[in-house]
Amino acid sequence: MNTFLRFFYEFISVFFDGFVMIFQGIFNGIIKMFNVSEYTKVIDSYKGAFNGAEWLMVVVAVIFLLAVLALIGLLIFFIVKKFIRKAKNDLNKEELLEEIGSLNEQVRKLMKEKDELMAMKVSQLGLNPEEENAEGEASSDETVEEEGDPSIRFPKLVEIDREMVGYHLKTYENGFTLAELTDDFKCFAASQLKLYYDETILRPFFAGLACGKLIILQGISGTGKTSLAYAWGKFVSNDSCVAAVEPSWRDKSDFLGYFNEFTKKFNETKALGEIYRATFDDNVHTIILDEMNLARVEYYFADFLSTLEMPNREEWIIDLVPSSWPNDPKKIINGRIKIPGNIWYIGTINNDDSTFMVTDKVYDRAMPLDINTKVEPFKCRSQEAIQINASYLDKLFEDALREHPISQEGLDGVKEMDNYVIAHFRIAFGNRIMKQLNTFVAVYVACGGTEVAAIDYFIAKKILRKFDQLSVAFIRDEIDPFISYLNKKYGKGVMVECIAYLENLKKSI
């Protein structure tokens, strides 16, 4: 046995000696390459035989060798650096994975605590979490369990799907005109809500609803901007959804919600729920963007500004998530939601130092209405809330376009004013604004107003508003001549809104 052990030791030693010699050879080779004394000895042994030209070549050879050694040194340095960086990245990845695992565990514990708190609340009420309530809806505890189902990422929208099972579109007894609708709304707000609005506010409001899906109510605080949108929801028997804009809003995820990678749930906002619910019915839905210019409207509402411009409503589609899941709500197709045509967005604006300026991109696509005065309380007949189909409201707008189109005289006057504004203020109307003008005037007249009053209001809010962006020095001498032009063209004091705006502009100069 001892003989074999000696044999095995000598036999294996041959392999290991060779293995060690490899690294020794590499190490010795590196040492030899960088051994300055060896190079010096060689130069010393030949220096007596070199002539002038050969010394020059020696210098070149030394420089070349130094360059090669420097390259080899840099190569070794970068290899070692890359190895260290890779090792560090691997370590950071491990730490990140551990942190993600820790966060997931914390989320799981928080969800468990939420379930326990909900169970305690239900038990305190004396209810059985497994039972259904009197309305046939799932109990609170069951809802929490469903929200924790990892296969359902839109729990609130899925709940709307359940509520709308078997729902059939309702057709209400719609038979009123726009003039009657305006009067009914005025009397409803006064008699039921003690909110007072006259025709000078309500006619532009309905005309604005006809012009597009976005209305901007602006003016000084306390004049009833939010109340008007709130009253409208009450009037049509479908409460407005209030989306309180925050200064931190940057994109549509702040308005609609976002997918949480940790919980694997979509954080659904009230606005998203209202939009989704509107896809099932033909009721009038309203979302109030309260204090909409606390953040930049063109950021968080950009997708809607572009989408709602498309003439084909089938193309009104917004992306929510990049892909679909089997248990997604039935009207979320491939992670996208179709924006229904029966929903309007009403934004309120207070212009002060804490807000952003609304850009022309937003104003051009919306209908701005000024509410700067409070209407004194008045007596009005009692009026209950109504039920109206959004399709009937659209029909009223279409009928107004057909029955009360802007006259040729009115169009000629607007065209002449357009030429005047271009010549003196370098501002043009544009095709989008002319299309809105045709709709606004027709609906305003159908609501009981006059064509001149409609043109006056529209020009003041959509065209003259652009003067705010001009240099004061540039327009100072042009304001009084423009007022004279309006008085001469339409009659002294007829263009009330335009002249009032220009007079206020003069005061600010």
Instruction: Tell me which residue range forms the domain holding 287.
Output: 163-389
Q: Which two tokens stand for residue 477?
A: 């001498």
CA of residue 146 relative to chain centroid, distance: 28
Q: What is the pLDDT of residue 123?
A: 41
The answer to whether residue 347 is domain-embedded is yes
More confident residue, 417 or 509: 417
Q: What is the pLDDT of residue 102?
A: 74
Q: Are residues 368 and 431 in the same domain?
A: no
Q: Tokens 């074999």, residue? A: 4
Percent of the chain whose predicted confidence (pLDDT) is above 70: 89
Per-residue confidence band for 18, with pLDDT thresholds at 50, 70 and 90: confident
Residues 454-508 have pLDDT tens digits of 999 999 999 888 887 777 677 888 999 999 999 999 999 999 999 999 998 888 7
How far is residue 337's CA from residue 278's CA, in Å, rounded to a whole number?
A: 11
Q: Are residues 236 and 327 in the same domain?
A: yes
Mean pLDDT of 150-171: 92
349-355 CB contacts, 8 Å cutoff, 24+ apart: 349/216, 349/217, 349/218, 349/219, 349/225, 349/291, 349/292, 349/293, 350/218, 350/219, 350/220, 350/221, 350/291, 350/293, 351/218, 351/293, 354/294, 355/291, 355/293, 355/294
Per-residue confidence band for 223, with pLDDT thresholds at 50, 70 and 90: confident
The answer to whether residue 170 is domain-embedded is yes
pLDDT at position 164 over 90: yes
- 8 Å CB contact between 315 and 299: no
Q: Are residues 262 and 190 in the same domain?
A: yes
**DSSP 3-state assignment of 266?**
strand
The answer to whether residue 315 is domain-embedded is yes
Domain end call among 330, 360, 389: 389
Q: Are residues 350 and 374 in the same domain?
A: yes
Q: Which two tokens stand for residue 370?
A: 């000024």
The answer to whether residue 194 is domain-embedded is yes
Q: Specify the DSSP element, H or E, that contains 368.
A: strand 367-370
**DSSP 3-state assignment of 348?**
strand
Domain end call among 389, 418, 452: 389
Q: Give ∠ CA 289-294-295 in degrees, rounded to 5.
A: 90
Q: Into how many domains does the chain fold? A: 2
Q: Are residues 378 and 408 in the same domain?
A: no
Q: What is the pLDDT of residue 483?
A: 94
pLDDT at position 436 over 50: yes
> Which residue in 494, 485, 439, 492 sits closest to 462, CA to CA?
439
Residues 142-151 have pLDDT tens digits of 444 444 577 8
Amino acid at the residue 491 = G
> Which residue in 258, 239, 465 sits closest to 362, CA to CA?
465
Rg (CA), the chain: 38
Domain end call among 389, 413, 430: 389
The answer to whether residue 5 is domain-embedded is no
CA of residue 70 relative to chain centroid, distance: 56
CB neighbour list of residue 140: distance below 8 Å, 6 or more residues apart: 118, 121, 122, 129
The answer to whether residue 461 is domain-embedded is yes
* pTM listed for this prediction: 0.71
* CATH at 282: 3.40.50.300
More confident residue, 416 or 15: 416
Q: Is the dihedral of CA 236, 241, 247, 252 positive or negative?
A: negative
Of the listed ranges 85-89, 172-176, 431-435, the least confidently predicted one is: 85-89
Task: Report the half-sphere exposure of 450 (CA within 13 A, side-chain side).
Answer: 6
Q: What is the 3-state secondary structure (H, E, C) of 281-333?
A: CCECEEEEEECHHHCCHHHHCHHHHHHCCCCCHHHCEEECCCCCCCCCCCCEE
Q: Are residues 372 and 425 in the same domain?
A: no
- 8 Å CB contact between 153 and 266: yes
**340 DSSP assignment:** P
Helices 178-193 & 390-403, crossing angle to 10 degrees?
Answer: 130
CB neighbour list of residue 11: distance below 8 Å, 6 or more residues apart: none
pLDDT at position 231 over 60: yes
Q: Are residues 466 and 369 in the same domain?
A: no
Q: What is the pLDDT of residue 134?
A: 38
Q: Are residues 270 and 197 in the same domain?
A: yes
Residues 19-60 have pLDDT tens digits of 778 877 877 877 777 777 877 877 777 777 777 777 788 788
Q: Tokens 């060689």, residue? A: 42
Q: Are residues 347 and 471 in the same domain?
A: no
- 8 Å CB contact between 446 and 403: yes
The answer to whether residue 178 is domain-embedded is yes
Per-residue confidence band for 75, with pLDDT thresholds at 50, 70 and 90: confident
Q: Are residues 375 and 503 in the same domain?
A: no
Q: Are residues 437 and 413 in the same domain?
A: yes
Q: Are residues 477 and 372 in the same domain?
A: no
> Which residue in 379, 371, 370 sits closest to 224, CA to CA?
371
Residues 127-155 as b/e (b if ≥16 CB within 10 A, e otherwise) read eebeeeeeeeeebbbeebeebbeeebbbb
The answer to whether residue 146 is domain-embedded is no
Main-chain phi, psi angles of 447, to 5 degrees: -85, 0
Q: Which whole-number Å values give the CA distances from 358 to 82, 191, 296, 347, 440, in the listed order? A: 51, 35, 7, 11, 21
Q: Which two tokens stand for residue 464?
A: 């003259």
